[in-house]
Amino acid sequence: MSTDRSAQRRTSRRRFIRIAAAAGAGAALLTGAGARGESTASSVPPEDYRIAHGRIRQSVMGWCFQPMPVEDLIEACHRMGMPAMEGIDSKYYPMLKERGMVPGIVGSHGFGRGPLSRDNHAFCLEKLRAGIELAAEFGSPSVITFTGMREKGISDDQAMRNCLDCWKQVIALAEEKKVNLCLEHLNTRDSSHPMKGHPGYFGNDIDLCIELARRVGSPRMKVLFDIYHVQIMNGDIIRRLRASKDFIGHIHTAGVPGRGEIDETQEINYPAVMRAILEIGYEGFVAQEFIPTWPDKLAALRHAVKLCDVA
C-alpha cells in the first residue's frame, strides 16, 4: 500500500511540474508580447480605426516611420482623422493640403547648427525666414528652432545672448505672418542613438528654454514641450505643463526610456498627461514622435493615437 501511495505521489509531482512548466512558458510568451507592445489584441485598434473624440489635435513625426513611404503614412494618418503631419519634406505639403491636413510644425536650421554661435546667425535667419513663409503658405501654426550645441569659448550667458539676438531679428516676421517660433528642449543624457539624445545640446533644461522664450518678449515666441525629453532631463511632467502653459506652442510624445511606443512597457502615464494638456487649455498639436519597435509600425501608431484620444 505504501508503495502505491509513493508511486501516486511521484506521478502527481511529475504532473504538477509539467503543468507549472507549461504555465511558465505561456507567461513568458505573454511577457515577450507585452515587451513588444502586443499585450492584448484589444489594445491595438483595427486598420479602419478613426479618432473618436479629437480633443487632442494629433500629428505625427514622419522621420520616425522611415523607410515607410511618406505617401503611405499620409494616407494612414488621413484615414485615422489626424489633422496634421510633420517632419516630412515640404514637397509633400500640397498632398497634406489636398486632404485637409496641415504641417504640424515646419522645420528650419536643425539642432546641430544653432544661434548659440554668431557664426551661424546668417544661416539660421535664412532658414527661419523661409520656414515662416512656408508655414504661412500651408497653414502651419509654427516653425521649430533650437539653441544649437555648446561650443568651446562660449559661456552660458553669451550663448543666451547670441540666441536672443538671432531670434529677435526674425520675430517681427513671425508676428506679421501669425506663426510661432517654437524652441525645442532636448535631452543630453541619452547617448545610445543620434535621435534618442543629444549630448552637448545647450537647451537641455526646460526652464532655461522657457526663460529664453520669455526674454524674446513676443507672444509668438514659444517652446516645444517634448514630453520624452522633459521626462529624462526634468521629470514632473504634469506640474511642468501647468507651470509652462503660457509658453507651450507645440508638444511631442515618446516612451521613456528608449523612445519607443507609448505603451505599458514605459514609465509615462500618457492618458493622464493628455488630460493635463486639456486642463491647461492647450489647443495646439501633439505629435507622436516615438520610434516604432513593433513589426507593424502603423499598428503602433494607431495604438498611440487611440491612447491619446482622451474624452
pTM here is: 0.87
Q: How far apart are CA 215 and CA 201, in angstroms?
A: 20
Number of domains in the chain: 2
Residue 225 within any structural domain of the chain: yes
Residue 158 within any structural domain of the chain: yes
Residue 180: all three cell numbers together:
510661432
Q: Are residues 26 and 112 in the same domain?
A: no
| pLDDT on residue 40 | 43
Q: Are residues 17 and 54 in the same domain?
A: no
CATH code for the domain in which residue 301 is found = 3.20.20.150
* Among candidate residues 122, 219, 107, 105, the one with its CA nearest the CA of residue 165: 122
| pLDDT on residue 27 | 32
User: For cell 492618458, what's the residue?
Assistant: 271
Please write the tens of the pLDDT for every residue from 80-107: 999 999 999 999 999 999 999 999 999 9
Q: Are residues 26 and 101 in the same domain?
A: no
Q: How far apart are CA 203 and CA 242, in angstroms?
A: 20
Q: Are residues 121 and 241 in the same domain?
A: yes
| pLDDT on residue 43 | 83
Q: What's the distance, CA 309 to chain centroid?
A: 15
Q: Is the peptide bond before 45 cis (omega within 30 degrees of 0)?
A: no
What Cα–Cα distance (Å) separates residue 219 from each residue in 19, 80, 106, 174? 65, 32, 18, 10
Q: Are residues 59 and 183 in the same domain?
A: yes
Task: Give the 3-state secondary structure percentages of the chain, helix then strand then coil, rounded to 5.
Answer: 50, 10, 40
| pLDDT on residue 3 | 42
Q: Exposed, middle or buried, 92 (CB in 10 Å: 0-12/13-18/19+)?
A: middle
Q: Are residues 5 and 63 in the same domain?
A: no
Contact indicator for 102, 67 with CB cutoff of 8 Å: no
Q: What's the distance, CA 61 to chain centroid?
A: 8
Q: How far apart are CA 263 and CA 267, in angstroms?
A: 9
**Helix locations, 45-120, DSSP H:** 70-80, 93-98
User: What is the chain's alpha carbon radius of gyration, rounded to the nearest angstrom?
Assistant: 24
Residue 40 within any structural domain of the chain: no
Please write the tens of the pLDDT for every residue from 240-272: 999 999 999 999 999 999 999 999 999 999 999
Instruction: Please list the ranges in the chain whose pLDDT falls under 50.
Output: 1-40
Q: Are residues 56 and 31 in the same domain?
A: no
Residue 257: all three cell numbers together:
526610456
Q: Are residues 6 and 133 in the same domain?
A: no
Q: Are residues 52 and 181 in the same domain?
A: yes
| pLDDT on residue 42 | 57
Residue 119 within any structural domain of the chain: yes
What Cα–Cα distance (Å) separates residue 279 from each residue in 20, 69, 234, 246, 276? 48, 36, 21, 13, 5
Q: How far apart are CA 34 and CA 264, in angstroms?
A: 8
Q: Are residues 180 and 241 in the same domain?
A: yes
Residue 42 within any structural domain of the chain: no
Residue 41 within any structural domain of the chain: no
Classify residue 242 as left (phi > 0), alpha (psi -120 to 50) or beta: alpha
Q: Are residues 54 and 2 in the same domain?
A: no
Classify residue 81 as left (phi > 0), alpha (psi -120 to 50) or beta: left
Q: Are residues 15 and 103 in the same domain?
A: no
Which range of residues forms the domain containing residue 28?
Answer: 1-35
